[in-house]
Amino acid sequence: MRVLVTGGAGFIGSHLCGRLLEIGCDHVLCVDNFLTGSPENVAHLTGHPRFQLVSADVVHGIAVESTVDAVLHFASPASPADYLRHPLATLRVGAEGTRHALDLAVAQGARFVLASTSETYGDPKVHPQTESYWGNVNPVGPRSCYDEAKRYAEALTMAYRRSRGADAGIVRIFNTFGPRMRPGDGRVIPTLIRQALEGAPMTVTGDGSQTRSLCYVDDLVDGVLRMLGASIGGPVNLGNPHEVTMLELAHWIRRLTGSRSEIVLVPLPADDPKRRRPDIALARVELGWQPQTPVEDGLLRTIEWFTNRTNGPSMLAEVPAPASRASELAVQ
C-alpha cells in the first residue's frame, strides 16, 4: 500500500508512520505543517527509502505526485494547551483539512480513516461511553474549538461516505500516551512525568477525582491499522478501559519515577470532563482489537523516554507558567 498520513510528524502520527514502514508499506507520505508536530519525531525515518516527509498545511489542499491507497487524517492540535492557543487553526483543520483529505481519498479510491476523539462525548452523562452516545459538549466553551472541529469532521466524513461513496471510517481515540509526547503540551501524563523527574510540584487539577482511561500508543496504532484494513464506517472507540483517577495517576507516576515531589491541587479547567472510559465492545467484535500493554508497562517506557530527554537542558523551558501557588493545595 501507499499511505498518506496527515499530521504524521505529531505524537501519534509519527508512531503510525513508523509502524506502516515496519509492516512493509510501499510508500509512506508524511504531511505536516509542524504547528504542533516536529521533524524530530520522524528524524529516525527520514533516511528510509520508502518514507517521504512533506511540509505543508492540509487546510490549503493536498497535492500528491502519485497514487495513494489510504489516507489517514491525523492533522490537528490535540492537547488543550495547543488548541486553546490555536483555536482557529484547530477549527480550520477539522473542517477544510478534513474536506481536502476526503476529496483526495475519493478521487483516488483510497481508504480514509479519520482520527476523531473521545472529546466528542464532552463531559459525558453516560458511563462508560459507547459509540451510540451523542455526547454532552458545550458548543461555545473554550474547548469547543477542538470538540466541535472533530464533531464536524465526523459529520463530514459520514456525509462523504453516504453521498459520494467514500470508503471512510472514524476512530474515536481516548487518552493515549507514550514516547514523543511533548513535555510542555499540557496533557496530564507528560506534565506529571516532567514535574516528577525535575523535582517540581506535581499538579493535579480539581480535587483529583476526575478519571481518564489510558492507552499506550503502540496499542492505539494497532487499532488504527485494523480500522484501515476494515470497511466499516464506525465510529469505533479505541482506548483502554483501565480507568484511573488523576490523583491516583500522580501517586503512581511519583512511585515509578522515585520522585520526592509534592502533589498539589490546582483549579480545574473549564468544561474538563469528570469521567472518561471507553466501551470497546465494538472494536473487539469488528476489529478483533483490544489493548495489550499494561498501563504500568507503558508508563515505565514513557518515563524512560522522558528520562533520556532530561540529560539535556531543563524541560521547564518548554512549559507555560504554572498556576499561582496561592491557589495550590498540597496533597501528601
Cell 470497546 locates to: 280
The pLDDT, as a whole number, for residue 65 is: 87
Q: 280 lies in a domain? A: no
Beta strand 243-245 with 211-213: parallel, antiparallel or unpaired? antiparallel
Cα 89 versus chain centre, distance: 17
Q: Which of 242, 309, 245 is nearest to 280 (CA)?
A: 242
pLDDT reading at 257 higher than 70: yes
Show the cell assigned to 199.
523535582
pLDDT reading at 221 higher than 90: yes
Same domain for 43 and 66, yes or no, is: yes
The pLDDT, as a whole number, for residue 285 is: 98
Same domain for 62 and 203, yes or no, is: no
pLDDT reading at 313 higher than 60: no
Question: Average of pLDDT values for 227-239?
Answer: 98
Same domain for 318 and 259, yes or no, is: yes
Per-residue pLDDT of 150-195, as tens digits, reads: 999 999 999 999 999 999 999 999 999 999 999 988 899 999 999 9
Same domain for 96 and 232, yes or no, is: yes
Q: 311 lies in a domain? A: yes
Q: 282 lies in a domain? A: no
Same domain for 203 and 102, yes or no, is: no
Same domain for 197 and 149, yes or no, is: no
Question: Average of pLDDT values for 202-207?
Answer: 96
Q: 279 lies in a domain? A: no
Cα 150 versus chain centre, distance: 12
Buried b (16+ CB within 10 A) or exposed e, 4-40: bbbbbbbbbbbbbbbbbbeeebebbbbbbbebbbeee
**Domain containing residue 74:** 2-176+215-238
Same domain for 85 and 233, yes or no, is: yes
The pLDDT, as a whole number, for residue 8 is: 98
Give percent of the chain with pLDDT exceeding 70: 93
pLDDT reading at 327 higher than 80: no
Same domain for 172 and 187, yes or no, is: no
The pLDDT, as a whole number, for residue 311 is: 54
Domain of 47: which CATH number?
3.40.50.720
Per-residue pLDDT of 133-148, as tens digits, reads: 999 999 999 999 999 9
Same domain for 165 and 23, yes or no, is: yes
Q: 281 lies in a domain? A: no
Q: Which of 83, 121, 133, 146 is catalytic?
A: 146
146 is catalytic: yes
Q: 287 lies in a domain? A: no
Per-residue pLDDT of 50-62, as tens digits, reads: 999 999 999 999 9
Same domain for 20 and 119, yes or no, is: yes
Residue at 62: amino acid letter: I
Q: How many domains does the chain have?
A: 2
The pLDDT, as a whole number, for residue 326 is: 28
The pLDDT, as a whole number, for residue 309 is: 83
Task: Please state, in angstroms and rounded to a whole number, the distance separating the CA atoms of residues 193 and 202.
Answer: 8
Per-residue pLDDT of 179-190, as tens digits, reads: 999 998 889 999
**269 prior amide bond cis, ω within 30:** no
pLDDT reading at 75 higher than 50: yes
